[in-house]
Structure 1
């Protein structure tokens, strides 16, 4: 009887062992977790492809971000954060004449090689907006008389500053639209860092065809646009 039981146990053990060896153990399927893209990168990818200025007439108005995405924007007159203390643009956009855009892109490329970028406070200004500003502050010391118009109205002037690679504004001694002697280019009472930053901005802009206003460190006019026509081109808000 013992001789019969022992071979039977061996057979059963071998069968169970083979069965266990053939059994496949399944684990829950691993899910790949995608890291969310950087917000700015995602936003830029959703933008339409960049346009080219090669075949655009110099006097044509263009939206700058359609042709280059290396700039930073804080359009002050589309907010109440300005010396007027009121919003005068329906929405924030930076339009300029095509020839102004080309000069700005060239200047910005040079600045980017040094770790900086141009940040805009104001660009082209419709003549109707100039009239609105004059009605609020009818003082030629602060607002150009709409009867004569401003180079902003011609698409050849911009109000700007510089930011570093992290988007932080460089110290310029005063804020935008500060109307005092400290905002003048010839004011030398600022720390060396401020004077250096202003010099970098001024020399770079002048190198690319712009000229400055003595009393406003942020304002630059494209020389070739000074004889242009005052315009009242209005853009659509998206």
Structure 2
């Protein structure tokens, strides 16, 4: 997300509303639950595509919505906290190096897909609600996972790689794109999506929950 090509993409805000995914037939996890319920929201276009992705999954496999919308103030806090962790671990890094490294895992607040309601963190569960083996937990950092959080990381078990392929196949077919440093992060309509799909502009910019 630190790539200047992402920041250079203009936003042509379409005005699509944020919608509560809990009312749209998706399985919602509560690990990121907040008092305002913001975590369960996403743009209507994102939810429509998640519903389509669910219909493409094998019988007995269910898409689990972990986190969607993230208020800009919360995104800023996440970015600053992770930057501070990296600064402690690498005191020799200059400010530009820290920002670039932090941006690989946490989007800068001004371009964050989550703050536009454009991104969702998802995983897969079975019919009994058990999370499938994806190689790492959702939101595992590169440091914690030794790089296994990268979507195409080497050294994954056959089962984890197969499960990631199942998740990715359904979401890609439904029109979402993956951010390659986080297997769980998928988006539609944001600046990164626009760059990767060669659109001239993003559909969604930062937005506040009504």
Q: State TM-score, norm by structure 2.
A: 0.70
Which residue, 13, 17, 21 being the options, matches 1:64? 21
The alpha-carbon deviation at position 194 of structure 1 amounts to 1.0
The alpha-carbon deviation at position 170 of structure 1 amounts to 0.6
1:119 aligns with 2:70: no
Which residue, 76, 79, 82 being the options, matches 1:137? 82
Return the index of the structure with the highest Cα Rg. 1
The alpha-carbon deviation at position 109 of structure 1 amounts to 1.8
Residue of structure 1 equivalent to 2:54:
108
1:193 aligns with 2:159: yes
Partners of 2:123 and 2:55 in 1: how far apart? 15
The alpha-carbon deviation at position 91 of structure 1 amounts to 4.6
Partners of 2:176 and 2:204 in 1: how far apart? 18
Partners of 1:165 and 1:220 in 2: how far apart? 22
SS at match of 1:77: coil
Q: State TM-score, norm by structure 1.
A: 0.63
SS at match of 1:121: strand
- Residue deviations 1:52-85, cap 9 Å, x none? xxxxx8711111122x22x22224333xxxxxxx
Residue of structure 2 equivalent to 1:212:
178
SS at match of 1:158: strand
Which residue, 107, 132, 140 being the options, matches 1:170? 132
1:99 aligns with 2:45: yes
Partners of 1:58 and 1:230 in 2: how far apart? 9
Q: Tell me, which stretches of 5 or more residues in structure 2 are unaligned?
A: 1-13, 84-101, 192-201
For the 8 Å contact 2:111–2:206, the answer to whether it is kept is no
- Residue deviations 1:116-159, cap 9 Å, x none? 1111221011112212223322332332111x321111111100
Partners of 2:118 and 2:163 in 1: how far apart? 23
For the 8 Å contact 1:130–1:149, the answer to whether it is kept is no
Aligned residues: 164
